[in-house]
Every structure is written in structure tokens, then in C-alpha cells.
Homo-oligomer: A and B are copies of this chain.
Amino acid sequence: MPALSELGNLVIVLVRTRNPLNVGAAARAMSNFGVHRLRLVNPYEVAFREARSAVGASDVLKNAEEYKTVAGAVADCALIVGTTAGRNRKLQHPLRRLDEAGTELRQHLQAGRVALLFGSEKIGLTNDDFSHCHWLLTIPTRKDHVSMNLGQAVAVCLYELARSGPSQTSAPAPPKAAAGVNEQISRVLLEALDRSGYVQPGSEAACESKVRRLVQRFELDPEDAKVFLGMVRQMVWRLRQRKG
């Protein structure tokens, strides 16, 4: 499997987060996807303290930095992108869909530090927060329920940025059993069916074709073919043995 994209240049900025569980969830997703820089702007004090002291709090959380202003939190970043559910608001910034902006964001991440901003659970980012952003990012969701949970939104964004690009050459086709093996299976299965009374007199040829086509469509890999042949052989053995 190809490696994840490197996200060492990504900075996650949580602005005025209220819920310690969300801070923890964001940190966990960051750890999953190899993102180390977490910055909190004016977090609800209790949220930050509780999240930090939670059992299993990640290194991400322990190394998180606190800032008083968005400007301070993004000062060393070359590209600033705000996230928004995008409802009920006249946006003065270009709004891009995450699934369409992934490639461009990955390119920026190769060139320099990128900040991704997430607002508070209740109101998201404000227009003042947006004023620090080059453009805005939205996760495409259903019109009737656009607002995602903060920890889930962070996870989805990181997944998109870490994916190895939209169009990898697809994996090689899995190996298939040789035709000779399929033929063996067909013959043995046909005998089992014949001994079971499945094959009507006069329909032998039609039944043979039917069985062969069916076995072809199983598209067995070599290992499965061996196993299945063994199974059918065992049944034939029993059916022969018991013949009157």
C-alpha cells in the first residue's frame, strides 16, 4: 500500500472550542493521520484542561499551543483556510468543497505551512476569523443537516488531505484459477449432480454447459479452487459409496 501523504506542514487551529471531548477527538484524528501541530485560540479554559488531562491524551494534545488571537495562531503559515458549514451566511471568500480542493491543498502542503481553522461548536468561525483566511472550505453534506460534529469534521478533512491523490492506478487484478482446474471442478460437480438425480435424461449436454458456465462465473482464485474441488470430490466419493 502506498504511504499516506506527509502532513508535517499542516497546522490545525481550533477557535473557541467549548467541549473537551471535541478537543480530544480532534487530537486523536490528528494522531491517526500523522498531524502534530494543534493550536487553540481562546479555548474554553475547562475544555483545554480536561482534554489535556484525559486518559490516553495524545502527544498531540500535550504539545498543543494556546493563542489569544487567530492572527497569532496562523502567523507562520503561508496559506490559511477556514472551514464552514456554509449555511445562512453571505460569504465574502471563495468557498471550495473539500473533495474538490484536496489536490490543491496537498500541493500547498508540499510547499509550505498550511493552517486549517475550525470554529466553535455553536457558531463556527466568525467573519472576523474569516478575514484571516485566503479561502474557505466546506465538507459537502446534506442540505437539511449541514452541521457536522467538530471531531468528525476534523477527521474527514485530515482523511482527505492524507489520501494519496484521486487517481492512483488501480491494484492489479487478483490471480484466477487456471481453466484446467475449473474444468476439473465442473466434471466432478457434474458427476455429483448426476448421482443426485439433478440431471434429467436427455438434458445431459445442456446441464454440462450450465455447470461449466456457473463454475467459470465463480472466478475462483487458485486457493479457493483447490478447496472447492476437494469439497465436491468428497461429496462424489460419498455419493458413489452409497450407491445401491
Contact = CB atoms under 8 A, between A and B. Distances in A.
A94 B139 CA distance: 30
A234 B198 contact: yes
A25, A33, A98, A238 — most chain B CB neighbours (10 Å): A238
B234 A193 contact: yes
A99 B163 contact: yes
Interface stretch (A76-84, A111-119, A151-159): A151-159
Interface residues of A, number: 66
Contacts of A231: 189, 193, 198
A140 B235 contact: no
A164 interface: yes
Interface of A: 1, 4, 21, 25, 28-29, 31-34, 58, 94, 97-100, 139-142, 145-149, 151-153, 155-156, 159-160, 162-164, 166-168, 170-171, 174, 189, 192-193, 195-198, 210, 214, 217-221, 224, 227-228, 230-231, 234-235, 237-239, 242
